[in-house]
Structure 1
Amino acid sequence: MTAVEEATTQSGALQPRQLIVTLYGLYARECGGWLSIAAVVRLMAALGVEEPAVRSSISRLKRRGLLDALRMDGVAGYALTEVARDILADGDARIFGRRRADESDGWLLVVFSVPESERDKRHQLRSELTRLGFGTVAPGVWVAPGHLADEAAEVLARRGLAGYVELFRGAHLALGQIRDNVAHWWDLGQLHARYAEFLERQEPVRERIVAGDGAGPGQAFADYVRLLTDWRRLAYADPGLPLDLLPADWNGARAAELFSELRGRLAGPAHEHARRLIGA
């Protein structure tokens, strides 16, 4: 799955449409990418979201080209579009298959130039690079760890942006300290604060589960969908910079460990509960 929406907030509040994207990514693809509107309403009710907000959010996702209205055996519902399937597949790799770079991976440099007459493409390109986790070296020059090269090339090509960019991969040879440069190219302070917020929200979940107060599959479902929606935003904001280039008190590794642990504890019972709600 992925950060499908540009309107994803930086705060801890999870928007209904973000939760719907998570539900489709987790549970709809295994049954053809379609869910009845009644099933979506039941799933979202289990997350504390009322039906009017669900229908409004689905309409927004439809306008953005991520869901299509589709009746199956006379039942009204919505199916993922091909665009949404591609985005969710990108997200799977970033969220579940991400790894942290080391300095031997080198660096990926993107240099782009977009004519003034195509300013919309410039905005789209910057948005995609930000979503991929690139840092800014200078206007039109962006950088990321080298292990993101294949993902970046594929995404930019799929979005029709490859013709505006040149990609270079190599080692850092400047006289300055790479650690100092990294601190300028990325807003590490903001990312550290976002990880701290994630830990503040999710550590009590772990404590409750460890204490034996998991409260059953319904609670596991709610916890897991919120966990994954919460983590998805961080998985795209953090490019996986080498740990030795990050501050000594970096909390991203602890957050990743917590996400992995909670996923292991919650995914199974959450899936069982979701299938019951979908089939009800």
Structure 2
Amino acid sequence: MDEERDGARPQTVLLAFLGAYVLGRDVQVATAGVLELLRRAEVSEQAARSTLSRAARRGLLERTRHGREVYLGLTPSARRVLDDGSDRMWRTGPVNDDWDGSWTLLSYSLPDSWAKQRHALRARLVWAGFGSLRGGLWLAAGPVDVTALVDGLEAAAHLSAFTATALPPTDVDTLVRDAWDLDALAGDYARFERRWSDPARDPADPLAAQVALEADWLRTIRNDPRLPVRHLPASWPAVGAHDLFLRRHRELAPRAAEVAAQILRVREAR
């Protein structure tokens, strides 16, 4: 899929769909309907089938045969991932306007051979809002449940975490610019606004458009650490992009639900 036009990989489109139409319901959906949705979202059949297979191998989807149909349901692991994404999408604002002035500091040192573990740890840190100060020292605004953050990671035994406050002569604005690439973050929001401010660029199918919108918003906020608003540039674009996302979702959701009812075969999970 074209990143500027559609803004997300097939896996992100799939997760956005599951979050919108399966999460919170004790149901399974027929594979054929999911493949049809991905086709409408301009994902090739080969890429769509590969995405479903990969999600199943990762323990996110469970397959159940019912008659001649194969149905897909969410695993507990998938529900945790989607609940987290849903919180970020619907219940957490794009900026931190009630920051208490505290920081969470995290330090780690991993063996050189632990490239995979280092990548997994860094991915979770970025999702949780951490920025890299230097080497293995990371920083996040406000309190972070580090125990939950690193649950299940081998790297958990190799890190230390602290709560801290900045003391003079620390320039917090400079600290923020050093730890996070504000230009790149602002560019992500600007790209989202370019992509979704013109309804003429929407996919013709409203269900595909809604899922693409949600997938692109998830992609946009994935790396946003929700920094304290007092330490962000005055023209920070996150709030405007968030308002655009909510407005476009209100426009697309009713028609998308009608299409979903037509193409998705649903059965109660057993």
Structure 2 length as normaliser, TM-score? Answer: 0.85
Q: Are residue 78 (structure 1) and residue 72 (structure 2) matched?
A: yes
Letter in 2 for 1:269: R
- Which fold has the larger relative contact order, with Cα–Cα distance below 8 Å and residues 6 or more apart in sequence? 2
Contact 1:178 1:245 in 2 (8 A): yes
What is the CA distance between 1:261 and its match in structure 2? 2.0
Give yes or no for contact 1:133–1:236 (8 Å, CA) kept in 2. no
Could you say which residue in structure 2 is the equivalent of 1:61?
Answer: 55
Is residue 236 of structure 1 aligned with residue 258 of structure 2? Answer: no
Q: Return closer, same or farther for 1:265/1:146 CA change in 2, 3 Å cut-off.
A: same
1:255 to 241, 249, 253: 241
Separation in 2, partners of 1:251, 1:16: 26
Q: 1:225 to 1:132 in 2, by over 3 A?
A: same
In structure 1, the partner of 2:171 is 177
1:62-118 CA distance string (max 9 Å, x none): 333322332135521333232222111111112211133244252111112224454
Q: Helix, strand or coil for the counterpart of 2:169?
A: coil
Distance 1:174 1:137, change over 3 A: farther
- Mark the CA change 1:13 to 1:103 in structure 2 (over 3 Å): closer, same or farther: closer
Q: 1:31 to 1:57 in 2, by over 3 A?
A: same
Unaligned runs of 5+ in 1: 1-8
**Structure 2: where are the runs of 5+ without partners?**
none
Quick check: 2:192–2:241 contact (8 Å CA) kept in 1? yes
CA contact (8 A) 1:35 1:78 kept: yes
CA distance in 2, matches of 1:165, 1:245: 28
CA 1:105 to 1:223, structure 2 compared with 1: closer, same or farther past 3 Å?
Answer: farther
Check 1:13–1:75 CA distance in 2 against 1; reply closer, same or farther (3 A cut): same
Q: What is the CA–CA distance in structure 2 between the aligned matches of 1:89 and 1:118, rounded to whole Å?
A: 29
Say if 2:129 and 2:141, in contact at 8 Å, map to a contact too. no
CA root-mean-square deviation: 2.7
Between the aligned partners of 1:175 and 1:105, the Cα distance in structure 2 is 15
User: How far off is 1:220 after superposition?
Assistant: 3.1
User: Aligned with 1:104: secondary structure?
Assistant: coil
CA contact (8 A) 1:112 1:165 kept: yes
SS in 1 for 2:162: strand
> 1:230: Cα distance to partner?
0.4
Measure, in 2, the Cα distance between the counterparts of 1:13 and 1:182.
Answer: 27
Q: Map 1:136-155 to 2 at 5 A.
A: 136-147=132-143, 149-150=144-145, 152-155=146-149
Count of equivalent residues: 262
Secondary structure (helix, strand or coil) at the match of 1:175 reads: coil
- Asked if the contact 2:28/2:74 (under 8 Å) is kept, the reply is yes
Q: Distance in 2 between matches of 1:181 and 1:153?
A: 25
The CA distance in 2 between the partners of 1:144 and 1:166, in whole Å, is 14
Cα distance between partner residues in 1 of 2:173 and 2:16:
35
Closer, same or farther in 2 for the Cα pair 1:47/1:254, shift >3 Å?
same
Q: Structure 2 vs 1, CA of residues 48 and 120 (structure 1 numbering), >3 Å: closer, same or farther?
A: closer
Amino acid paired to 1:228: E
Matched, 1:25 2:11: no
Inter-partner Cα distance in structure 2 for 1:226 and 1:25:
12
Task: Note the alpha carbon deviations across 1:212-249, whole angstroms, 9 max, x for none.
Answer: xx99xx74322211111001012221111122211222
Match of 1:133?
Answer: 129
Distance in 2 of aligned mates of 1:72 and 1:105: 55
Residue 270 of structure 1 pairs with residue 264 of structure 2: no
